[in-house]
Amino acid sequence: MKGFLRLVLLLVLFAGTMHLSSADSCSDLRVEVLGSGGPEIDDGRHSSGYLLWQDGSARLLLDAGSGSSIAFGTSSARVKDLDAILLTHLHTDHAADIPAFIKGSFFTDRNRDLIIAGPEGNDSMPGTRTFMQRLIGPEGAFRYLSSFLEDGKEAYTVSPLDMPSQGVGRLSGETWQAGSLSVRHGPIPAVAWRVDLGGCVVVYAGDMSAPPEEFTTFARDADLLILHAAVPANADSVARRLHMTPSELVSLANSVAPERVLLSHFMKRSHQAAPRSFEGMIAPLVVAYDGLRLQLD
């Protein structure tokens, strides 16, 4: 396979819990917020996207919501440095810019395969592999990009991957490990991600209405916990079916006890009350905005 990305792909179903080991000290890892908003058009924010930098290179992209490719382009990140794109779920504000990243990569010197990993499907949504086929497959909406799914047709190949809906899935690269854990986001298949990179642990909860029992152990020793604050304390039953309220997020963060919390994915209904709604959170709280660069050390 031309330009084969040397990733050891381990999909593991665990009966219990998983802890990805990390080095003794966290250094030289930067998290850049490409998008801190939700699906609203008029909120002045890009949708979800978080870039993990190590040693001056953008290694992993967590979600690729609307506008994240624009923010990627205005940063100093290079497409050829990306090892993988890790998706929490397939709503537009988390995955709409995937075709833009793939088409844009054609004009770069990328020559390594690219993993795009996300949840399995259910009756409400397709799995990540099917999603990619429907986007850029031979019969897809952007079928002119289908050569990126065929080995040897382009300078690199896109490799879609479904993470398991039960237990914990694991991906390993040369310098990082990533674990996925299925979480509840109403009827939508969704996963949280834990990334161990550069001796640092970043846990990205994504959108969820309730954490599974394993979440606290899954997120253990997090240097940064990314939480989404899409709804206010007085959210209606429809919103609460998809998202946790501020008090629930505070309780979750305090159970995990990370070094820091990054609060993001604001909507107009939720931003006005933040961070006042998150009083009682023990860990230091950082409020996200587009372009924020957070150094972990």
Question: Angle at CA 30, nearest 5°, toward 29 and 35?
Answer: 145
Residue 195 has phi, psi (to 5 degrees) of -120, 125
What are the structure tokens assigned to 82, written together? 């990306």
Report which of residues 10 and 175 the model is more confident about. 175
pLDDT at 5 over 60: no
**Cβ neighbours of residue 236 under 8 Å, at least 6 residues apart?**
none
Residue 132 has phi, psi (to 5 degrees) of -70, -35
pLDDT at 284 over 70: yes
pLDDT digits (tens, 9 = 90+) for 18-65: 333 344 578 789 999 999 999 999 999 999 999 999 999 999 999 999
pLDDT at 107 over 70: yes
Among candidates 16, 18, 35, which has minimal Cα distance to 226? 35
In whole angstroms, give the CA distance from residue 133 to residue 10.
22
DSSP state of 211: -
> For 73-80, what is the mean pLDDT?
95
In whole angstroms, give the CA distance from residue 227 to residue 203.
9
pLDDT digits (tens, 9 = 90+) for 212-223: 999 999 999 999
Among candidates 81, 87, 141, 76, which has minimal Cα distance to 111? 81
pLDDT digits (tens, 9 = 90+) for 198-214: 899 999 999 999 999 99
pLDDT at 277 over 90: no
Q: What is the rounded (10 degree) CA torsion for 211, 212, 214, 219?
A: -20
Note if the bond before 275 is cis, omega within 30 degrees.
Answer: yes
pTM of the model: 0.91
What pLDDT sits at residue 273? 66
224 contacts 260 by C-beta, under 8 angstroms: yes
87 contacts 93 by C-beta, under 8 angstroms: no
What pLDDT sits at residue 15? 27
DSSP string, 38-105: -S-SSSSS-BSEEEEEETTEEEEEE---TTHHHHHHHSS--GGG--EEE-S--SHHHHTTHHHHHHHH
pLDDT at 12 over 70: no
> For 142-161, what is the mean pLDDT?
96
Among candidates 223, 229, 224, 222, which has minimal Cα distance to 208? 229
**Alpha-helix residue ranges (DSSP H) falling in the chain:** 68-74, 92-95, 98-105, 128-136, 215-218, 237-240, 246-256, 268-271
% of the chain beyond a pLDDT of 90: 82
In whole angstroms, give the CA distance from residue 214 to residue 277.
26
Task: Give me the domains of the chain, ranges plus CATH numbers.
Answer: 30-289 (3.60.15.10)
For residue 240, the Cα-to-chain-centroid distance in whole angstroms is 21
pLDDT digits (tens, 9 = 90+) for 159-196: 999 999 888 899 989 899 999 999 999 999 999 999 99
pLDDT digits (tens, 9 = 90+) for 210-256: 999 999 999 999 999 999 999 999 999 999 999 999 999 999 999 99
